[in-house]
């Protein structure tokens, strides 16, 4: 149990990767604050976590709102008395309806940066004072392999994830004197609700995927770009998150780890 009695806040943990990270951390003994805008699914995640024998609570939080991230941190302190880990997982691929648009709009740029970049900054700013007082903390940001290299598809998304990698380095330097580690994970291709929409968008806009179902787009892309030839899973990301948020990784900070089956070897 490498996280026994630790307390973790996982943003966007109602579904997908965030849910898997929260469950992995709970299996390793951490108490979890499930934070998301989707209250119903967040409650389900919290129920599933409690069944593992640790404590869980839900705080409905929109990470773009600083009052909400402050309330999220306060709730963790009120429920559990400490905050050891923050996972900034909440993310979007565009403004509502993005997957039906062939090109990025100004609102896609604004909304995506608000959630993916500023949302991470808000949550980190809200937990940092508690971590500084404790002189202990782990902050993990979810970037993406999309942030490793600019591509024409979804430039607002890929550049926001590049910003997350850069911010991870900046924050790691800032918080190192307080004994707080800050790292990022760059997931590869994972079949989550987000990728289902990505697949549909490729089928509409990219001739090589024209007419395919989203899952078929996903599989074709994996066969083309992933050296291992297989998809990554939310559990894969959870395993990497466990390590980076454990004391075994105490000398690792400011890093972005690709978990992508060898897609990007840098
Ligand atoms: N799926 C992939 O292939 C993939 C690849 C690389 C990176 N990522 C990143 O991993 C993270 C999780 O992705 P996913 O695939 O699980 O996505 P998802 O859409 O399945 O889940 C995202 C979760 O974040 C929540 N959320 C969205 N906006 C929020 C906000 N403003 N405040 C709080 N919660 C909010 C949603 O309700 C949802 O529960 C994201 O940051 C995403 O960019 C995903």
- Tell me: the pLDDT tens digits for 227-262? 999 999 999 999 999 999 999 999 999 999 999 999
Whether 91 and 220 share a structural domain: no
Whether 129 and 194 share a structural domain: no
In a mutational test of the pocket of ligand 1, which residue from 9, 13, 18, 225 has the highest number of ligand atoms less than 8 Å from its CB? 18
Q: Is the CB of 37 under 6 A from ligand 1?
A: yes
Mean pLDDT over all residues of the chain?
A: 97
Active site residue 136: no
Whether 161 and 207 share a structural domain: no
Sequence-ordered list of residues with C-beta below 8 angstroms from that of 187, at least 6 positions apart, any chain:
17, 142, 144, 145, 232, 236, 237, 259, 260
Sequence-ordered list of residues with C-beta below 8 angstroms from that of 191, at least 6 positions apart, any chain:
215, 218, 231, 233
- Domains: count for the chain: 2
Distances 156 to 89, 107, 143, 218 between C-alpha atoms, Å: 17, 10, 13, 21
pTM listed for this prediction: 0.98
Shortest-distance Cα residue to atom 36 of ligand 1: 12
CA of 9 to the centre of ligand 1 (A): 15
User: What's the pLDDT band for 56 if we cut at 50, 70, 90?
Assistant: very high
- Token pair for 195: 């990728």
Does residue 126 lie in a domain region? Answer: yes
The answer to whether the CB of 119 falls within 8 A of the CB of 64 is yes
In the predicted model, is pLDDT for residue 211 greater than 90? yes
In the predicted model, is pLDDT for residue 225 greater than 90? yes
């Amino acid at each position: 149990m490498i996280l026994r009695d630790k307390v973790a806040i996982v943003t966007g943990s109602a579904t997908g990767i965030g849910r898997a990270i929260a469950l992995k951390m709970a299996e390793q003994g951490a108490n979890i604050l499930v934070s998301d805008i989707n209250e119903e699914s967040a409650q389900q995640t919290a129920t599933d976590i409690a069944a593992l024998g640790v404590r869980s609570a839900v705080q409905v939080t929109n990470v773009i709102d600083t009052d909400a991230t402050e309330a999220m941190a306060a709730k963790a302190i009120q429920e559990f008395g400490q905050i050891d880990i923050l996972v900034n997982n909440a993310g979007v691929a565009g403004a509502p309806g993005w997957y039906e648009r062939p090109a990025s709009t100004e609102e896609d740029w604004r909304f995506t940066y608000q959630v993916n970049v500023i949302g991470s900054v808000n949550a980190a700013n809200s937990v940092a004072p508690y971590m500084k007082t404790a002189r202990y903390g782990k902050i993990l940001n979810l970037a993406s392999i999309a942030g490793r290299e600019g591509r024409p598809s979804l430039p607002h998304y890929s550049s926001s994830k590049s910003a997350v990698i850069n911010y991870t380095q900046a924050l790691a330097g800032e918080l190192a004197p307080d004994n707080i580690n800050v790292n990022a994970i760059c997931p590869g291709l994972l079949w989550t609700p987000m990728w289902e929409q990505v697949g549909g968008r490729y089928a509409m806009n990219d001739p090589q995927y024209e007419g395919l179902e989203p899952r078929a787009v996903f599989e074709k892309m994996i066969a083309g770009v992933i050296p291992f030839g297989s998809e990554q899973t939310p559990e894969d990301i959870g395993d990497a998150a466990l390590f980076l948020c454990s004391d075994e990784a105490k000398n690792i900070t400011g890093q972005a780890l690709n978990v992508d089956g060898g897609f990007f070897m840098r």
